[in-house]
Structure formats: C-alpha cells, structure tokens
C-alpha cells in the first residue's frame, strides 16, 4: 500500500533528519457556537487518536517546527501556537506502538533505533474558531477532526494528559488575559461572552459578577444599537476595544502596576 | 590538575549517561533586603558566568534532573523549581566553547561527539530568600555567588536571554499569583511588601493603589500590634493569611469565577 511505503520511507529517513529524543505535540482547541472541541488525528489501522505531533528538524527553530507539524498533520496554517509545557516522564514513550508499526511495514526493528529511544515532547496550544477551519488528515491518519472535550476517543500514550494540562493552562490564562477576539462575532452580547467563558471553564458563572468583572477590565465598548428581534428586552451589544484588548494581552487584564 | 581529570572523565562518561541534545538551566532569583539577585557560576579559566545548568540522565524525570543539577552545581536543595520555557534556537549552542574545554584537558575532539550536537535547554526558575541560602561552587567553577540583576557579569551563550525571559515570567506572575511568603519576615508592613514588588518589577509603585490592590486580594491579615520604635507614626503590621494565600496560589489572586 502507498501509506506503507510512505511509513517505511519515514523510518529510513528520519533518524538523520530529526533532533534526537525530541517531539512536539499541539493541542488545538476549537470554540464555536458554545462548544469546545479539540483537533485529533485517528491513526490508521488503530483505534487510537493523537494530537498533531511530530519531530524537530536538526536545523529548525522549535516554533517553526510546531507550525510546520500542525500544517503537515492537519492542513492548518496561520494559527498562533503557544509553547506551554514540556512532558518528560522517562517512560512516556510507547515503544511497542512504534515496533508494531515498524513490523507492519517491514522495517527492521533495532533496539538502538532513533524512534525507540526516550522522547520528551514540547506541548503547544492554540484556541481557534473551528467553524473557520477545515482540517485535513495526513497519510498516517484515517481522520483528522474536531472532538468534543467531554467525549474524547482513546488517545495514544500521554496525549490525554497533555490535553488536560493545556486545558488547565488555558483556564488559568482566562484570569489574566483577554480572550474572545476571533472567537465571537464582531458584535456580541454579554450573555454570549459569558457563554464563551462558561464553555471553556465548563462551569456556570454568576451573571452579575461576570458582567462586573468584564466591564471592570475596560476592554469592551458598549454599542449604541441593541440586538433586535428577540421576544425579551433587546440585550446590549458590545465589541472589543481592540487597542485596550491588545494592551491587556501584553500587560494582563488587571493592568500595569 | 584534579579538575582537568574530572572534566576528562565527564567527557568520557556523559555520552552514554545523558539524554542527547537536552539540557536544563535554572535561574535562581534571590530576594533579601530590597535587593534582587541571581545565582551564577563563574567558569574556571574563563571570564564567563553560567546559570546552574546540566544534563538529563537517560532515566531521569525532568523535574528530578533540575533538582539534582541545582544541588550539584550550587549545593542548594529544597528549592521548588518551576519549568517556564524551552529555548531551542538551532544555533544557541557554542561549539567552540566546548571544543576549547576539550582541548584544555586533552579530550579528542570529534565532530559527531554528543556535546557538539544541537542542544535545546529547558528553563526552570525559583525565587528564594538569598540570606537563608549559601551556595557552593562545583569543580567546574571558581565561584558560585549572587549577582545583582542590574550588574551582571558576561554570560555564556544565551544564558542572559534565559535570565531575562525568567524575569519576564516572574513579573507577569506577580499579577495573578501571591508572592512574599518565605521572602519577607513573618510580620511585615505594607511599605515592606511594596518594596518587594518594586524590587522585582524594578519600578516605583503608587502607594495607595498598591495598598488598595493588595488588600483587595484578601490574602493579608492586619495585626493588632503596630511596628514600634520609629520616629513617625507606627505603621500597621500584616502577615499572610496562609489558608487564603495558598488558595490564591492555586486559583489565582483574582479568585475563582
């Protein structure tokens, strides 16, 4: 099969091309319409899913490698990735998994082969609007698709753990960095913004407290027009004050000292 | 010389012992008496200083490696280290530096030798009270000592850059995590707490604004007794409410949603 040949070639060429013992895995969170999803690849011939992961070329900057890997594995580009943590448990790699794939394509298994050593992986994450992006699978995968974070399929090695850590970092980040631009429509209501936070935090928030906090950050502009067409009193529309939003991205939501 | 022999042995044994292409560098910030310092090792025979750095054993957890390296290079233990960033520019290593040291001790320089490959390094940092800790140099160093962050000596490769990034992370962290326990005396005044923040931020803060923010976090207990003995009106004494302090460490200073 074509993919067997491609995998065999990957095994032959990779040892020379890539930095030893080092991989990158990216957790791409997608928000749209009050749903939080994550982008996963289903591996061919296995009922196992994986983050968008790969290796670092010997002369490649880590951030460039993360961008390239994401593009190669999912077809996505122009996504800003944040490095968030290094995963380095000594036994985190699954050698049996690699050996199985080597045997499937007839690659001679040797104990000192590059891929059978210990790998540490650098975790990156991003949060995008998943209705704007269409992911494409690569030759190693059957499917590349968005999965609800409450209903995740079985994942290889520590990828579930990497995903959880990324989610934890994302939730912490909500407390000191603005979020929402590119995830919400240009004009939105306070309940819509609250829903974004509730979806990421997976928790119900107090309406008044949320509104007070949000307005206190000073990153919102209240618009003249209210949303029309509802049965109830029309809610106010807001948009982000982009200058203040970007200032808060840099200095933190609670302002400079 | 003894250290030549030790360095030669290091070159002979390390390739087998350590994970390829991977190092750890720790930035140990020390605060005491309104001074912010950093712990550096001066390398023998060179007018160059380095962070407490080293390599990861093939079966060692990254965090354990960071702790071990810090102990070996500086004599310090019981310091909680935070992983904060991975530095992976392709040309960050200084091969000439290693070659020079190899030549000094008569180790045969070979191009494919482990130490002459590309290394990425994982940055860790900690903030301690430097008056409580006494650092000891290892056999590779002349001196291990605290240096004022405004008056740093010349540093090897990208260690100045790693230090700056750690400082940036520390300063950001001030905005959402409590700090001060173990750095200040058990009872302290608001001006003393403010001085800690000003020293880390390297900036003068507004007294009222600082006090309002600090009291707003709800992590301080105002004590019955005031500080005695000054010429002016005695300032109030505070201590940390440790239960709330630890809650804020976990949930962030601005509380749970």
Query: Tens-digit pLDDT profile for chain B (257 aa)?
Result: 787 898 999 999 999 999 999 999 999 999 998 999 999 999 988 899 999 999 999 999 999 999 999 999 999 998 999 999 999 999 998 898 899 989 989 999 999 999 999 999 999 999 999 988 889 988 889 999 999 999 999 999 999 999 999 999 999 999 889 999 989 999 999 999 999 999 999 999 999 999 999 999 999 999 987 777 666 677 899 999 999 999 999 888 987 77
Facing B254 at nearest CB: one of A60, A122, A175? A175
Choosing among A66, A88, A111, A202, which should be mutated to test the B contact, i.e. which has the most B CBs within 10 A? A88
Residue B190 near residue B236 (C-beta atoms within 8 A): yes
- In whole angstroms, what separates CA A210 from the centre of its chain? 26
- Is the Cβ of A5 closer than 8 Å to some Cβ of chain B? no
CA A88 to chain B, closest CA, distance in angstroms equals: 6
CA A28 to chain B, closest CA, distance in angstroms equals: 19
Cβ contact, residue pair A257, B90, below 8 Å: no
Distance CA A70, CA A139 (A): 14
CA A142 to chain B, closest CA, distance in angstroms equals: 32
A197 interaction partners in chain B (CB closer than 8 Å)? 257
CB pairs under 8 A between A and B: 79
Report how many helices (DSSP H) and strands (DSSP E) chain B contains, helices first.
Answer: 7, 10
Facing B62 at nearest CB: one of A62, A86, A117? A86
Contacts of A117 (CB under 8 A, 6+ apart): A20, A21, A93, B20
Residue B180 dihedral angles phi and psi, to the nearest 5°: 125, -35
CA B9 to chain A, closest CA, distance in angstroms equals: 24
Residue A11 dihedral angles phi and psi, to the nearest 5°: -65, -35
Supply the pLDDT for residue B1.
72
CA torsion angle for A85, A90, A92, A95 (degrees, to 10)? 140
A205 interaction partners in chain B (CB closer than 8 Å)? 257
Residue B87 near residue B121 (C-beta atoms within 8 A): yes
Length in residues, chain A: 257
Structure tokens at A163: 């995903």
Instruction: State the Cα angle at B198 between B152 and B125, rounded to 5°.
Output: 55
Facing B201 at nearest CB: one of A19, A254, A257? A257
Burial class, A203, CB count within 10 angstroms (exposed 0-12 / middle 13-18 / buried 19+): exposed
Cβ contact, residue pair A58, B90, below 8 Å: yes
Distance CA A66, CA A72 (A): 10
Choosing among A16, A17, A19, A95, which should be mutated to test the B contact, i.e. which has the most B CBs within 10 A? A19
Facing B21 at nearest CB: one of A21, A83, A89? A21
Please name every residue paired with B124 in a beta bridge, in sequence order, or none if there are none. B26, B83
Instruction: State the Cα angle at A251 between B195 and B129, rounded to 5°.
Output: 30
The predicted model scores a pTM of 0.93
Residue A43 near residue A156 (C-beta atoms within 8 A): yes
Choosing among B86, B161, B171, B197, which should be mutated to test the A contact, i.e. which has the most A CBs within 10 A? B86
Nearest by Cα to B115 from B99, B103, B129 = B99
Facing A88 at nearest CB: one of B62, B203, B205? B62
Distance CA A61, CA B87 (A): 9
Residue B234 near residue B227 (C-beta atoms within 8 A): yes
Supply the pLDDT for residue A257.
73
In chain A, residues 65-94 whose CB comes closer than 8 Å to chain B = 83, 85-86, 88-90
A128-176 per-position pLDDT tens digit: 999 888 899 888 899 999 999 999 999 999 999 999 999 999 999 998 8
- Is the Cβ of B249 closer than 8 Å to some Cβ of chain A? no
Residue B85 near residue B123 (C-beta atoms within 8 A): yes
Residue with tokens 């490095």, as numbered in its chain: A83
Sign of CA dihedral A45, A46, A47, A52: negative
Classify residue B178 by its DSSP letter. -
In chain B, residues 101-140 whose CB comes closer than 8 Å to chain A = 117-118, 120, 122
| Ordered mean pLDDT values, 10 residues apiece, chain A (257 residues) | 87 96 97 94 93 96 97 91 96 90 93 95 95 87 94 96 97 92 93 96 95 95 81 85 95 82
CA A229 to chain B, closest CA, distance in angstroms equals: 31
A19 interaction partners in chain B (CB closer than 8 Å)? 21, 118, 120
């Amino acid at each position: 099969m074509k993919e067997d040949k491609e995998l065999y070639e990957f095994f032959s060429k990779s040892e020379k091309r890539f930095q030893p013992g080092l991989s990158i895995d990216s957790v791409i969170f997608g928000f749209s319409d009050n749903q939080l999803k994550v982008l996963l690849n289903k591996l061919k011939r296995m009922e196992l899913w994986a983050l968008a992961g790969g290796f670092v070329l010997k002369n490649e900057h880590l951030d460039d490698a993360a961008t390239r890997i994401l593009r190669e594995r999912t077809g996505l580009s122009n996504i800003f990735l944040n490095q968030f943590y290094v995963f380095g448990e000594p036994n985190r790699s699954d050698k049996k998994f690699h050996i199985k794939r080597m045997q499937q394509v007839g690659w001679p298994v040797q104990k000192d082969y590059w891929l059978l050593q210990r790998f540490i992986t650098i975790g990156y994450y991003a949060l995008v609007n998943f209705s704007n992006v269409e992911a494409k699978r690569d030759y190693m995968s059957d499917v590349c698709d968005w999965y609800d974070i409450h209903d995740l399929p079985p994942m290889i090695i520590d990828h579930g753990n990497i995903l959880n850590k990324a989610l934890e970092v994302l939730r912490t980040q909500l407390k000191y960095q603005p979020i929402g631009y590119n995830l919400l429509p240009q004009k939105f209501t306070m309940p819509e913004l609250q829903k974004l936070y509730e979806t990421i935090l997976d928790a119900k928030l107090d309406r008044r407290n949320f509104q007070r906090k949000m307005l206190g950050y000073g990153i919102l502009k209240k618009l003249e027009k209210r949303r029309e067409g509802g049965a109830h009193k029309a809610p106010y529309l807001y948009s982000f004050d982009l200058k203040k939003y970007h200032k808060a991205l840099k200095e933190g939501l609670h302002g400079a000292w």
